[in-house]
Amino acid sequence: MSSENNVFGAMLQEFAGAARLLGLDEGLWKILTHPKRQVTVSCPVVMDNGKVEVFTGYRVQYNITLGPAKGGIRFHPDVTLDEVKALAAWMTWKCAVAGVPFGGGKGGIICDPTKMSQRELEALTRRYIAEIADLIGPDKDVPAPDVNTNAQTMAWVMDTYSMKIGTTCTAVVTGKPIEMGGSEGRREATGRGVMISAREAAAHLGFDIKGATVAVQGFGNVGSVSADLLAKIGAKIVAVTDWRGGVHNPKGLDIPALIEWTAKNKTVAGFPGADALDPSTIFGLDVDVLIPAALENQITEKNADSIKAKVIVEGANGPTTPAAHQSLHKRGVFVVPDILANAGGVTTSYFEWVQDRHGYFWQESEVNERLELKMVEAFNTVLQTALKYKTDMRTAAYIVAINKVATVTKLRGMYA
């Protein structure tokens, strides 16, 4: 299968480019390209119509060398084991780049949550967690929200796990409601990290983010928060698209009003004061910064050549295929890769886990201040690595991550 469609194959290609530059030992190469554990579970649910449906769920713990596995749970009709495995691998590298003591994990259930009631979603979540309860825990594997899951889903995860072990355990999951051990600033954290990455990239390239034009693909949590925070520091968000449509205004969109419109209408399409935009054309807009914040494999060989942006900041996981990335790099487009750009979420998840374990919670300003320090440090480490190895930011981020995980793997030794 081509890596244009095979996301785990794409991850392996990205890994290989960095591993070769690093001169990675052959044995370590083998270890770091194989997931530690892959689990497939069946989740029977009594639906509202009285019929039983059986859903397939996955949990992959890719690597736990640096600490407990960390990664979200997504609900989507197109979830595959290959996708979950790739996302778990990316989480491994992301945690290493961000400098947090977690390994990489990911989970997913094949379902269409748009066609399910709240009761059905709760039943599915609880059954899935019951099936994997022995594998997760604050010292083993700490789930989080992802595509089509949210704070309420995480509350069900926490309650189900707590009922199973007979004591309340808030640290088993992050992205929870504030009232039950969630962290201030967690909801905005991934988007805040994207904003910081865009700002730092602009500074490196010598243009001011204030007044810079930005296009955002995807207007869920990451896209909307990124757009809002960038607008607040003076950037001009000129185009936004989602799965149902798009809007464009060269003078800049009113992002708070667009967020309000989207909350009511479930789409950016039809937003007054802007022209309609075909979602497929967003990559060809003449903007300074492009933020893909939707799903994987959105920038491919077919559309990479049409991109005019100076900077791409990957809010989504795996939005650019390896072949597309090579094309962009040759043309001098500065790409801040997903494992760096969207690491704000896992960094603040780490903060939440720390707060839960200590039972002491920080103010939002403190969370954001700590996130700023972590993201700027990670950006500069990757940038210096890129300059040292004379390579692009994605390869550099992999070099930083692989070197960290490989070093600790070597120090821990081979268990036999």
- Measure the CA angle with vertex 231, ends 228 and 237; round to 5°: 95
Q: Rounded to 5, what percent of the chain is helix, strand, coil?
A: 50, 20, 35
Can you tell me which residue has the tokens 């990559």?
283
d(CA 171, CA 140): 11
Cite the beta strand spans of 219-304 per DSSP E.
236-242, 245-248, 275-276, 289-292
Q: At what angle do helices 221-232 and 186-205 cross, to 10 degrees?
A: 50
310 is catalytic: no
Task: DSSP letter for 70, please.
Answer: E
**Active-site pick, 70, 85, 94, 106:** 106
Sheet containing strand 213-217, edge to edge, reads 275-276, 245-248, 236-242, 213-217, 289-292, 311-313, 334-336
Continuous H helices in 166-252:
186-205, 221-232
**Residue 229 has which token pair?**
């925070």
The pair of three-digit structure tokens given for residue 315, joined into one six-digit string: 């809010």
* Residue length of the chain: 416
Instruction: Spell out the alpha helix ranges (H) of 26-172.
Output: 26-32, 81-98, 118-132, 151-165
Q: How far apart are CA 277 and CA 241, in angstroms?
A: 7
Cα dihedral value 39, 15, 393, 379, nearest 10: 50
User: What backbone phi and psi angles, to 5 degrees, belong to 133?
Assistant: -55, -35
d(CA 336, CA 204): 12
With beta carbons less than 8 A apart as the criterion, state whether 75 and 111 touch. Answer: yes
* Residue 107 phi, psi dihedral angles, 5° rounding: -140, 160
Close Cβ partners of 267 (under 8 Å, ≥ 6 residues apart): 242, 243, 244, 245
Report the catalytic residues.
106
